[in-house]
Chain A
Amino acid sequence: MNNTVIPLTPLDLAIAAGLVVLLALLTWRLRLGMSGRVLIAGARTVVQLLLLGIVLKYLFDTRHLALIALIAFVMLAVAGREVMARQQRPFKGVWGYGLGTMSMFISSFAITVFALNFIVGPEPWYLPQYAIPLLGMMLGNTMTGVALTLDHLTQNAWQQRAIIEQRLMLGEDWHSAIRDISRQSLRTGLIPIVNAMAAAGIISIPGMMTGQVLAGSSPMDAAKYQILIMFMITAGTGFAAVLSSWLGARRLFDERQRLRLERLQPPNGAA
């Protein structure tokens, strides 16, 4: 291990925090009404990441499979909440939470487990140093893709209700009546990750690669890992988006292929 990382002292972090406080002061001066949010978000970063550090340290020391699985499911649960919160009209009831979470679960977990076993191959395959960061990056990106897809799908189904119903009246089946909308929603969900792949390394140096280089890995190793991650994320986001748009479209119709928009919540969770 060629560990050349320079440890950061609390003072180093305090200086960096000073920059955020400066930004908060600036937004307060400009009356953007968000200085409070900047500070709170900053505080959350500190607490959440330090906690993560503690948990990961414990996890890396013990390498307990059940504990790793537990952490993985907590991550999934939080990502599921986030997907729901990012939709203006999520489905009512258990579907609102379940649909996105299920899509992310199937896609992210399957691809992470696959990559760990057949590509990276750590010993044991669930070695937390690999499993947790990989899954985290998968979930973080899949979450965005699924949220965008579902949000676009439900919003447009709502707005184009008359068109969908007209197509049903003319005898189209549900699949064909919503085809244009689900295609477009899928496209919306996939654009960010495809753009990220295209821009990787030229416009942005991805966070993970930055981290690996700072921690002393050779740039070539870091690049290879970043490529692997990019492909995993793209595949994971893509499959999850396809799955969620199909499940979501299906849920918009009942067994007699009627459009059931009352299965969606009113915007902003208003009753």
Chain B
Amino acid sequence: MSELRLEKLKVAHLDSVDLVVKAAEIVCLSGQSGAGKSLLLRSIADIIPHGGLVYLDDCSSLECTAPQWRKQVGLLPAESQWWLDSVGSHFTEVDEALFERLGLSAGALQWQVSRCSTGEKQRLAILRLLANKPKCLLLDEPTGSLDPENTKRVERLIKQIAVEGNIPVLWVSHSEEQIERIADRHVVVRDGGLFTA
């Protein structure tokens, strides 16, 4: 039973945030820019200093090394980064079926990163993240740069992965329609706290 639990998380102006995302549950986060959505996700992944505790499966982030923790709580930043020339050299494992689910083929691994469009990079970044087999997903506007068709593909894939893998998902989204389609619960980040929408 995988469950993501935040206890009194403190970062910047976010004060004492408590939140539970149950296994297979998709919780959408929205809120004005600067409200602290990304900061919240970054704290959960322990990329930035923060107060409070984060648990996954009743296991606190402090009980394992930071790299182990970050592999388990997969964080997808709003803008993906690529540091090697070819797409493939960023991947350790490749699941071709997943590539096809996002409208790509394994041939994409031969591509040069510099020639990929923003949308291609975004979908590849999702695949790269999933290759780590995370036990929880933190997605910062994962479909922000995608066309409607690919947006639907990502939504279907994540939803299926959440259900089949019993994976809790925190999904930052600005689109009401998208939240309507995917969210089991909708939480708004406002005035330094979380509010149920």
Contacts and interface: CB of A to CB of B under 8 A. Distances in A.
A169 B45 contact: yes
Interface in A138-187: 160, 162-163, 165-173, 180
A171 B67 contact: yes
A260 B49 CA distance: 9
Interface stretch (A9-17, A57-65, A250-258): A250-258
A170 B128 contact: yes
A162 B77 CA distance: 10
Contact of B81 (A162, A171, A180, A257): A162
A168 B47 contact: yes
A150 to B, nearest CB: 22
B151 interface: no
B79 interface: yes
Interface size class of A (residues with CB under 8 A): 10 to 19
Interface string B65-100: 111101100110101110100000000000000000
A209 B129 CA distance: 59
A171 B68 contact: yes
A169 B47 contact: yes
B15 interface: no
A173 B68 CA distance: 9
B67 A173 contact: yes
A173 B65 CA distance: 9
Nearest to B138: A169
A167 B45 CA distance: 12
A167 to B, nearest CB: 7
Nearest to B83: A163
Contacts of B59: none
A259 B128 CA distance: 21
A79 to B, nearest CB: 34
Contacts of B83: 160, 163, 166-167, 180
Nearest to B68: A171
B106 interface: no
A260 B48 CA distance: 8
Contacts of B70: 168-171
Contacts of B132: 170-171
B66 A258 contact: yes
Among B48, B66, B68, B74, chain A packs the most CB atoms within 10 A around the CB of: B66
B81 A166 contact: yes
Contacts of B18: none
Nearest to B62: A256
A217 to B, nearest CB: 52
A258 B67 contact: no
B141 interface: no
Given A170-B71, A256-B49, 14 more contacts: A160-B83, A162-B81, A165-B47, A166-B77, A168-B66, A169-B74, A170-B128, A170-B132, A171-B67, A172-B67, A180-B83, A256-B46, A256-B66, A258-B47
27 contacts: A162-B79, A162-B81, A163-B83, A165-B47, A165-B77, A166-B77, A166-B80, A168-B67, A169-B45, A169-B47, A169-B70, A169-B74, A169-B75, A169-B77, A171-B68, A171-B70, A171-B71, A173-B67, A180-B83, A254-B49, A256-B66, A257-B65, A257-B66, A258-B48, A258-B66, A259-B47, A260-B49
Interface of A: 160, 162-163, 165-173, 180, 254, 256-260
Q: Return the 4 tightest CB-CB contacts between A and B, nearest first.
A: A171-B71, A166-B81, A257-B66, A163-B81
